[in-house]
Structure 1
Amino acid sequence: MITSRLITAYNNYCKDNSILPPCRATQYKIIKACAASQLKSLHGLDNYISDGMESIDTLKKVVSNLGTKGLQTSKFLQKKIWAWRDHSIRTVNQDSCKRDILQNLQSHEVLIIADWAMKYIPQTFRETQSEWFGKQGISWHMICALVCRPQAEGDENDDDKNFDIYSMVHIVEEQKQGWHIVSQIFSSAFKMLKSINPHLQHAYIRSDNAGCYHALPLMGYLWKFRNELSLDVKQYDFSEAQSGKDLCDSRTGTCRIHMLNYINEGNDITNGKQMKEALESHVCIKNTYISVVNVSCETQPLLCEGPRVYKHKNFQVTQFNNFKFDDEGMRVYKAYGIGGELVKATDMTRISNKLTLFDSNLTFGDSKIPETKPASIKTLRNNANFPCFDPNCILEFKKEDQLLRHLSVGKHVFDDEKLDSIIDTSKRLWSAKCHNVRLNQPLISSVGLEQSQDQTKTNINEQHGYALKKRKKAVRFSPKVKDYLTVLFNAGEESGKKPSPYTVSNQMRNEIDSQGNRVFSTSEWLSHQQIRSFFGNLCIKKQKIEKSKNPSVEVVKIENNQEDDEDLQNVLSHLIANEHNNVLSEIVTGLTD
């Protein structure tokens, strides 16, 4: 945003909130003194974006030196760039599903967005440093429901739909975040929504790709009891991996601020009951219902024939992101509108044979009815100075509260030729010219595109569904790679200065032998994540050997893979901490020398 628009937006904000702003000259001086820096892509938030940006930066350096090293490096990085492109396409495609549902949502239908919030750490008004450590977080599940209000007679404009947003928080203290507890939470939420709006009949569900949602038992539960639940689930859609931020995150932030204010008043939140009291304090959060789930037994029902009850050579539930339920069975799609397949009713019956509608071991507490009425959310015109935070959305708003309402619904507008300026129109014409030139040129390189069987075709034609996820082949590390990493690991254990996975990854690409040949081929190059995992496995093996040699130490047998994964995560966290310490020590050494 340029300086003048920023100042205009700030003045409008001050006007709406009865604040006297400084003069315009002073505002320019403030912005000049506090210039905003350009943020880079944050690593860890989205692996596709971080890997793609890193690959593009590396390719820029390789272009200046296109030798043997440059050609090999470019082939290694091309896969990441194409994966980033496919990830961006899948993200937009899955988000279009939500927009279409909101566009066609009727008054007797509801769109439900579900997500597990980050565990709440118990907190007291006054606590010592020793009390701060070793706490066990409290799990709480957030559901946001968008209900369309009935339109007035004669009003057929779908762009003027009004939505009511309801939030339901389920606090779970002693239960794993599995598909079973999620199914019971959905059942409780359906009852609550039915009591609030008796005219509701059908529901659409959307969530991220967490294992508790993207599970075949949960799909079987929703299909089996579709006519017995309070609401009939018509469709279940998943967002693209690492792109599931939605309305639940903003509602979770509101709840956290409400609980923090409750603690600052001299209260404590150490369990689920106190957490419910905090959320319901001060006339409760607007339009939010809170319930505590009491668990008397942690058993989770198993499928009739185990997890592979539906045996199909090409069917994996994680490979599909859109599910529709009807009497014929469950229709699955690899992406929104792509790759339809039917799981027959006979197979769904066998899958959900042992599933029950209600679990007597779970008890849902009563929710306090908020005293405030639902806030009406209305689609707004774009005619002001507050642009949407989404970089691809073209809507702007006159007031701040209008922008917040737009972000809550998430109904973005990504393109509109009617609003194009002269510059935008010029870009469209130039893009069309370039597209025509590209189609009329012969196919020189086929990198990232599926080769056509007919070699006579010279045009580049993407096949339908080209951006779908490809299954990665499990490739074992070669003995040469294992020996190389093991030597580095042992050297770090003896010297006390453990190697950084980032440094080792770069060394593997540049390692040469005495004759000047590369030690590792491009197929043997490893990323820093792979190297960190390998070092973590070596740490676990070393700890087991040390425990077996010391008879005074009791060797704990790992009974399931989940505990093994937890140990591995602890070791990886320790390695990451050592990496940061090594970097700091190198910086200090460089400054002192």
Structure 2
Amino acid sequence: MAPGQGQSLLELFEKNVDNDTDEQKLNLGMQSIVEAYKSAPSRKWKLFLLSTVPQHFTRKELQLIFNCNRYMIDKSRYIRHQNDQFNLMNQKIIRREHVAHGTTFIRFDQGDEILIPHVVRTMMKNHILQLYQRHCIQTSCVQPLSRSTVFRLLDACKMRGKKTMCGLDSFSVDGNAGFDILQRLVKELQVNNTEEKNLLQLIKLSRNYLKFEYRQNVSHDDTDCATHCRLFALSDPLEKDLKSNCNHSKHYMSCIKCNSLLALLRRMEDLVTGVSPSESKDELEIDLLTAKVDILSWMFHIIRGVQQDKSKQFVMSQLDSQSGLLLSDWAMKVLPQMHREKMDNWFGKKGISLHVDVLFYMDTNHTLKKMTYFTAIDRCLQDMSSVLCIFEHVIDQIKIDLPNLSTLYTRSDNAGCYAGTAVILTRQVICAAADICLKRTDFNEPQRGKDQADRDIAVAKSCLKAYTNRGGNLINAKSIKEALDETFGSLSGFKTSVIAIDESKCILPQIKIEGITKYHSVAFDGKSITFWQYFDIGCGKSKNFAGCKCTLQTSVMLPFSDTQNTNKEFLMKSTLSSAIFFCSVDSCSATFHNEEQLMDHEQKAEHLYTDDCSLSTIDRARHIYIEHLKGARLLEEASNRIAIESFQSSNIENIQFSDNDDELNRTFSLQGYAIRQRRKSTKLTQEHQQFFIKLFHQGENTGKKVTVENVFQEMRHALKSDNTKLFTTNQYLTKNQIRSLFGRLSKKGSIERRSQLIHNNEKDQKQGSYEESTSSDEENAENYFRKQQDEELEDLKANEVNNSLNCCSDDEYDTDQMDQN
């Protein structure tokens, strides 16, 4: 009715309400509404206009004024309370930006640079242009910007577009999915609007807290908060050698945001418990349990990851001119790619293995440097034998490049090819043979091992793609070396080689260590090896090993490049602080890395001012964009502060743990609560096997194979013949169990098909040999009969000739007489 003037219309209504007489209210405030009501085109508009009438009018008065019935009045008042769009007139709209990891610089035409966070653009540039043009039409803009100018402005204001991401941390993804489940449960449960809004806000704040802030809180070494103390969370109470006692006699819940997260989980449990017993309640309980387990697992995963990262910080502090840290990791297999590839070559590709080793070391000037070694292999199993062959090959090259290196530390992820007993013992033997002392081997927390090796792999993959775009062909490991040498040939610190491994001839030590998969840190001291479950937690378990021998079979096809340029300095830049600090002066556009620089700037009052009149259109757009980011961040900080104050007002105080019935309190009061433990799995019953085997064979026969997600949902909704649930909530299998079961069924089917194929081939070979022998006998018989027939024909011809000659001699006279006649 009044686009863009809702606030003025509301003030007009309130002003009219304050008048004294009913006649003035009717004459000044109601006359326009009555006229609009009479000319309303539909019943919907009439209800809306009635909802705008002040509430002090009685039903009888409204019936006389508008000439309507009682139902219309009650319906309009209901709409007044339920219409969110009308209630939003008095609320401020807060816009938040999606901020990515990292920062970037905006450079002006005059050469100045301003540091800003990377903002994620959620729309395409063309859609932004369409919205801008529509806005110009609605606001009657006389001279809108052209299409090319808008695109130039978007390029000047650096923003990242949303992209699909693969290979994410499973714990983080499951934790985010747990918060999504909580949001869905809040909307499904019957709660009032105020509580629903508060719960949704609390879910959003808790999710962002685990994403960005919880890791920083856990990194503090001295804290008495139970959810932040790593020594308390990772100490094994049953193993004294894997246990460390912190300096805190008691642990408190002193973190407001951790308390808020636990209060959220408790409130959700209360809401689900209050639902009346039914099948839907069982589903809500299993969903809440899944969300709760995934969120807490995410928290524990962060604690373990922070503790294992301390091992790298410790090793980096121990480096000198005679020691080094070696990081190892496998890259994703490189698929063969030709510059111009026909369709026949596109199918059935076999990947080429690529392994990367990154060595950090100090030079004589105590400057940190790095060397990267790429190893390409045409065919490789990527098992322990392959890892050890590559390790031996790289150690030999490191000894050539750095002959003074005498001490080595290694670090990798916890995959089976790196964390096996044979690899741990054999690495020490290989280093000893190269006159290098292996001090430590540390393994990352699962799925948190992103390090310099992954960064170099990403660079190598982009170089390989650029190589094929230039006209090169990646068909084998040799071509990968050519591509990387062509790219890194002018750069120092990168080397590539090609080797071949025969895993069948490799012999590894057959030694088993009980519980080897739970150890993440290993230290070597002569023949003694010490194992820790997590870095620097306890004194560790020491074991003695002697006489470890191994045999490796490696063939060097193309060695590392002999040319070694002077290695450039590798400067370590801190990326821990993701916050951007702005000056408090509105007209100042300066930004800072930390709070100390901001305070120093404000004390000196050296503000950065810009003259809009002398700026170009692009620079003016850059400054407006920076001011927008500044305002968005201030609004976000203000909203978070208001949320925290609301949590404090809800009686969330520092509480000491006690032995009560609260399951969450019992969880965080137990020492070693963050140690990774195996989840209890549901046992497979006969009903499970029949149900899943039926779905599996149905997909095999029809060609439409079902996904694990679809099978999981069908399991939850499966019914018996009497319309009761086939499985109870306690009989639900996890998605990993379903995936494992389908994998075993698929493997079993492939083995059966392979054995049947072999049997058919053997049968065909036997039948083929019989047919060959039968056909050869038939050919010999046919040749014999043909020869006999030819001989009989020759004898018959000879007899006929003799008989004809005899006949001619008897009639010779007569014949001569006939010739004379």
What TM-score, normalized to structure 2? 0.52
2:175–2:295 CA contact under 8 A, matched in 1:
yes
1:82–1:448 CA contact under 8 A, matched in 2:
no
Q: Does 1:9 align with 2:223?
A: no
Amino acid at match of 1:168: Y
CA distance in 2 between counterparts of 1:323 and 1:428 reads 45
The aligned residue for residue 286 of structure 1 is 492
Q: Does 1:324 align with 2:523?
A: yes
Aligned-residue offset at 1:495 = 6.1
CA distance in 2 between counterparts of 1:548 and 1:191 reads 45
**1:86-106 CA distance string (max 9 Å, x none):** 112222222222223223422
Aligned counterpart for 1:363 among listed residues 529, 550, 556: 556
| Structure 1 residues 16 and 321, CA gap change in structure 2 (3 angstroms) | farther
| Structure 1 residues 479 and 336, CA gap change in structure 2 (3 angstroms) | same
**1:513-548 CA distance string (max 9 Å, x none):** 677765423332123343244334444545666777
Aligned-residue offset at 1:77 = 3.5
Pairing 1:150-165 to 2, within 5 Å after superposition: 150-151=364-365, 162-165=367-370
CA distance in 2 between counterparts of 1:77 and 1:4 reads 25
CA distance in 2 between counterparts of 1:336 and 1:13 reads 50
Aligned counterpart for 1:193 among listed residues 390, 398, 402: 398
What percent identity do the matched residue pairs reach?
24
1:547–1:554 CA contact under 8 A, matched in 2:
no
How many residues of Structure 1 are paired with residues of Structure 2 in the alignment? 493
Aligned counterpart for 2:420 among listed residues 212, 215, 218: 215
| Structure 1 residues 11 and 462, CA gap change in structure 2 (3 angstroms) | farther
1:113–1:206 CA contact under 8 A, matched in 2:
yes
Aligned counterpart for 2:309 among listed residues 81, 95, 102: 95
**1:484-521 CA distance string (max 9 Å, x none):** 32344455566665544323312333446677765423
2:305–2:445 CA contact under 8 A, matched in 1:
yes
Q: Does 1:525 align with 2:621?
A: no
Q: Does 1:78 align with 2:292?
A: yes
CA distance in 2 between counterparts of 1:149 and 1:91 reads 30
SS in 2 for 1:439: coil
Pairing 1:232-271 to 2, within 5 Å after superposition: 232-271=437-476
| Structure 1 residues 47 and 512, CA gap change in structure 2 (3 angstroms) | same
Aligned-residue offset at 1:449 = 6.2
The aligned residue for residue 30 of structure 1 is 154
| Structure 1 residues 16 and 336, CA gap change in structure 2 (3 angstroms) | farther
Aligned-residue offset at 1:326 = 0.7
Aligned-residue offset at 1:331 = 0.9
CA distance in 2 between counterparts of 1:504 and 1:487 reads 11
CA distance in 2 between counterparts of 1:532 and 1:3 reads 34
Structure showing greater radius of gyration is 2
Amino acid at match of 2:399: K
Amino acid at match of 1:329: S
| Structure 1 residues 38 and 181, CA gap change in structure 2 (3 angstroms) | closer
| Structure 1 residues 290 and 379, CA gap change in structure 2 (3 angstroms) | closer
**1:89-141 CA distance string (max 9 Å, x none):** 22222222222322342232211111111222233333211122223222221
| Structure 1 residues 432 and 61, CA gap change in structure 2 (3 angstroms) | closer
The aligned residue for residue 376 of structure 1 is 569
CA distance in 1 between counterparts of 2:715 and 2:553 reads 57
| Structure 1 residues 253 and 32, CA gap change in structure 2 (3 angstroms) | closer
**1:143-162 CA distance string (max 9 Å, x none):** 111112345xxxxxxxxx73
Aligned-residue offset at 1:242 = 1.5
Pairing 1:397-546 to 2, within 5 Å after superposition: 437-440=653-656, 445-447=661-663, 461-463=669-671, 465-473=672-680, 475-490=682-697, 492=699, 498-511=705-718, 518-541=725-748
SS in 1 for 2:391: helix
| Structure 1 residues 183 and 537, CA gap change in structure 2 (3 angstroms) | closer
Pairing 1:543-558 to 2, within 5 Å after superposition: 553-554=760-761
SS in 2 for 1:335: coil
SS in 1 for 2:368: strand
More helix by share: 2
The aligned residue for residue 121 of structure 1 is 335
| Structure 1 residues 106 and 12, CA gap change in structure 2 (3 angstroms) | farther
2:411–2:443 CA contact under 8 A, matched in 1:
yes
Amino acid at match of 1:377: F
Out of 244-253 and 532-541, give the one that drifted further. Answer: 532-541
Aligned-residue offset at 1:57 = 1.6
The aligned residue for residue 55 of structure 1 is 178
2:334–2:351 CA contact under 8 A, matched in 1:
yes
1:162–1:379 CA contact under 8 A, matched in 2:
no
The aligned residue for residue 177 of structure 1 is 382
CA distance in 2 between counterparts of 1:148 and 1:164 reads 6
CA distance in 2 between counterparts of 1:15 and 1:129 reads 50
| Structure 1 residues 256 and 517, CA gap change in structure 2 (3 angstroms) | closer
Amino acid at match of 1:324: A
Structure 2 residue runs of 5 or longer lacking an equivalent are 1-95, 114-144, 190-271, 276-280, 582-592, 600-633, 764-821
Aligned counterpart for 1:139 among listed residues 353, 358, 367: 353
Aligned-residue offset at 1:266 = 3.8
CA distance in 2 between counterparts of 1:200 and 1:396 reads 41
CA distance in 2 between counterparts of 1:419 and 1:209 reads 40
Aligned counterpart for 2:408 among listed residues 203, 210, 213: 203
Amino acid at match of 2:507: P
1:48–1:87 CA contact under 8 A, matched in 2:
yes
Q: Does 1:349 align with 2:546?
A: yes
CA distance in 2 between counterparts of 1:87 and 1:316 reads 20
Out of 53-62 and 8-17, give the one that drifted further. Answer: 8-17
1:46–1:242 CA contact under 8 A, matched in 2:
yes
Structure 1 residue runs of 5 or longer lacking an equivalent are 152-160, 383-387, 398-414, 452-459, 557-593
Amino acid at match of 1:30: L
CA distance in 1 between counterparts of 2:531 and 2:598 reads 38
**1:267-308 CA distance string (max 9 Å, x none):** 4332333332332226354321122224467422043xx4xx
SS in 1 for 2:175: helix
1:125–1:263 CA contact under 8 A, matched in 2:
yes
| Structure 1 residues 267 and 494, CA gap change in structure 2 (3 angstroms) | closer
Out of 102-111 and 234-243, give the one that drifted further. Answer: 102-111
CA distance in 1 between counterparts of 2:758 and 2:430 reads 54
Out of 253-262 and 107-116, give the one that drifted further. Answer: 253-262
| Structure 1 residues 546 and 274, CA gap change in structure 2 (3 angstroms) | closer
Out of 128-137 and 289-298, give the one that drifted further. Answer: 289-298
Aligned-residue offset at 1:3 = 10
